[in-house]
Structure 1
Amino acid sequence: MRAGFEVPASGTREKAKERMVRFDDRMDDNEDVVVWRPIQYAMASHRRVLVVDDYREAADALQMLLAADGFECRALEDPFAVCEMACDWQPFAVVLDIRMPGLDGLELARRLRADPSTSHMLLVACTASASRDDRARAKAAGFDAHCAKPLTPERLLRVLESAAALHATGPS
């Protein structure tokens, strides 16, 4: 499996590194989750996740799933509120829908990457736009990972758990 997600084992830093989410620079696979950038220690100083989707029910459902897994989660449906919320609340990860009215997830990713106070955050596209070209646009906009809808929740959880577990083991 190219995306090969595994939750890191508790214990030594070496064990966690061995079992980290593997990432792949290619975009032509059929996996529902692709990770392009290795997860960094600095990304996960806490378990806060910001979920952004203009379809409120989808945002709320993902928020409940993440909360049940121990993440502190906030959901927004207004894409214009994302940058301010991310700056103020400082989540380690932002899960963004791509297709939103007024301000799409690609532009939001560019804005978050351009701001020094949010540029370190793990950005995950969570979208029905999953063609090879869609993934290339997401990667170019600054996303670290791409999750195709309909989402396999376990895979998204593993990406977030990997980031959180890496922080728990400390920097190398």
Structure 2
Amino acid sequence: MGQSLCVRRVLVVDDNADAAELVGEVMSMQGHLVAVANCGKEALATATEFLPDVVFLDIGMPGMDGYEVATQMRRNPLLNAARIVALTAWGDLASRARVAACGFDAHLVKPANLDSLLNEAASSRA
């Protein structure tokens, strides 16, 4: 794996710390700047400070789930340009519809393949 042509600011949010760290490490190995959060409130605080280009966001988190995090991110003018990608075990039609309704830009089902993760990290918000 070579260096990315464009360095992105990537926020990885997952209540499974090992999963979040793994995705973060993959992004770091590609030359991206990475921040990791393990809950919704931490994700919102980190996003406001870090101003990510891309957010990989788990949906099934205790407390504040990924749907609520994405909805709040979309209400924050500082985060308008961030591409929000659901990275979740939930791939059913209802989850996909709710992901779209909450302002996510893409939906990846765990375990996502490496090419999909890298493509999403390289993409900009349409």
Normalising by the residue count of structure 2, what TM-score does the alignment of the two structures yield? 0.89
* Structure 2 counterpart of 1:6: none
Give 5+ residue unaligned stretches, structure 2.
none
* Structure 2 counterpart of 1:153: 114
Structure 1 stretches of 4+ with a deviation exceeding 4 A read: none
CA contact (8 A) 1:113 1:120 kept: no
- Matched residue SS, 1:117: helix
* Structure 1 counterpart of 2:99: 138
Determine which structure has greater relative contact order: mean sequence separation of CA pairs < 8 Å that are 6+ residues apart, divided by chain length: 1
- Matched residue SS, 2:56: strand
Q: How many residues align?
A: 120
Following superposition, the deviation at residue 47 of structure 1 comes to: 1.1
* Structure 1 counterpart of 2:10: 49
Query: Is 1:120–2:72 an aligned residue pair?
Result: no
Identity of aligned pairs, percent?
A: 37
Q: Which has the larger radius of gyration?
A: 1
Task: Return the alpha-carbon distance in structure 2 between the equivalents of residues 160 and 53 of structure 1.
Answer: 16
CA deviations on 1:24-48 (whole Å, 9 max, x unpaired) are xxxxxxxxxxxxxxxxxxxx8x511
Q: CA RMSD in A?
A: 1.5
Task: Return the alpha-carbon distance in structure 1 between the equivalents of residues 69 and 120 of structure 2.
Answer: 20
Task: Return the alpha-carbon distance in structure 2 between the equivalents of residues 157 and 149 of structure 1.
Answer: 14
Letter in 1 for 2:53: F
